[in-house]
Chain A
């Protein structure tokens, strides 16, 4: 299918500018430089490195057209309902973890991180994708894998020690265009199902973690964010063309 575009080559350009502030209403007292406890850079020469490797696996994503009932067990009465769209209007997409008869075990985009529930298969459309994202906090890299083949690896900025990026298995729930490459979030931002373990509020939100571009390319390669993953803007543009709602994002 069309999702198997290979060998995407990117070049990340680094320039020095102000750090990402995230809307100016961060609950944590960030440093004047805009960094919540800046850790040293992992790489001083951030470049995007196209590589080749092999991995496995496809992903099942449940797409709902309407409000979705979530049950704690297969066949049990629903414990709550998810709106048909996210806060930003994205269609509801849930990562499928398991299948049991007419029921799907899905990862929920709710706190606490790692929440799961069961939904009726009849209530959703199940799609299959090959892409996934792997984020290595120690190496401060993001790798996009498509059908077992590494498409790109890029240096990133991760959460500072005071607001570390949460670890675990998450997925993309929003794809947003800011309309301005010089925006704090760069041209594109991808909301994840992850939430900060430290910040319960941020810029009017609930501490949702995302992958996004930046107007501070110098921060790439450092641990300076409030938990989000910053990528070079050209990488953000490339990800916009490759990431689905529901694409798995593993942070470790």
Chain B
């Protein structure tokens, strides 16, 4: 085979392969024609007058659960969580002072009790200056 023939065949083969690999061109959308309605052209008010506009539905709040790691407020459904730190665990050492989880309230200032009544069963013999 002559060199010219071989080159010709290779060239033809490459052209055939390129025709297969080239993607098909998508046809461009055609612009809307006069029959396509993109805006209402009819009168919204009927013969009985205009209807009141329908109320807009309230936006639905997505489910929200705040966590102590993410306290992002949710105006729709605020969630309050107790994010106080967990109490320190009491050490296992029996001799250690473990804080009382329910401490007693502070005592009120000492206020005198009612007067101590005199015990009449033990009569006294005063010797005051009469």
Chain A positions within 8 Å of B, measured between CB atoms, are: 1-3, 20-23, 26, 61, 88, 91, 125-129, 159, 163, 174-180, 184-185, 188-189, 191, 196, 199, 202-205, 207-210, 212, 225-228, 240-245
Contacts and interface: CB of A to CB of B under 8 A. Distances in A.
Given A125-B110, A128-B109, A176 B118 contact: yes
Interface string B83-121: 000000000000000000000000001111111111110
A225 B127 CA distance: 13
A243 B127 CA distance: 19
Contacts of A159: 129
Contact of A196 (B109, B110, B129): B129
B128 A20 contact: no
A202 B114 contact: no
B33 interface: no
B130 A61 contact: no
Contact of B130 (A26, A129, A204): A26
A188 B116 contact: no
B20 interface: no
Contacts of A199: 129
A88 B127 CA distance: 10
B22 interface: no
A97 B128 CA distance: 25
B118 to A, nearest CB: 4
A128 B108 CA distance: 12
B124 interface: yes
Given A23-B127, A204-B127, A227-B129, A177 B120 contact: yes
Contacts of B125: 178
A3 B113 CA distance: 7
B115 A210 contact: no
Which interface residue of B118, B119, B122, B126 has the most chain A CB atoms within 10 A? B126
Given A26-B130, A191-B126, A191-B128, 4 more contacts: A22-B128, A91-B116, A204-B127, A212-B128
A189 B126 contact: yes
Contacts of B23: none
B128 A179 contact: no
B126 A178 contact: yes
Contacts of B128: 22, 185, 189, 191, 202-203, 205, 208-210, 212, 228
30 contacts: A1-B112, A2-B113, A3-B112, A21-B130, A22-B127, A22-B129, A88-B124, A126-B110, A127-B110, A128-B109, A175-B115, A175-B116, A177-B119, A177-B124, A180-B123, A189-B126, A189-B128, A191-B128, A202-B130, A203-B130, A205-B127, A205-B128, A208-B127, A208-B128, A209-B129, A212-B126, A225-B129, A226-B130, A227-B130, A228-B129
Contacts of A176: 118, 124, 126
A21 to B, nearest CB: 6
A126 B112 CA distance: 8
A35 to B, nearest CB: 10
Contacts of B122: 177
A194 to B, nearest CB: 9
Given A125-B110, A128-B112, A177 B129 contact: no
Nearest to A61: B112
A196 B123 CA distance: 24
What 10 pairs between A and B have smallest CB-CB spacing? A22-B130, A179-B123, A205-B127, A210-B128, A176-B124, A127-B112, A227-B129, A177-B118, A226-B129, A203-B127
A129 B124 contact: no
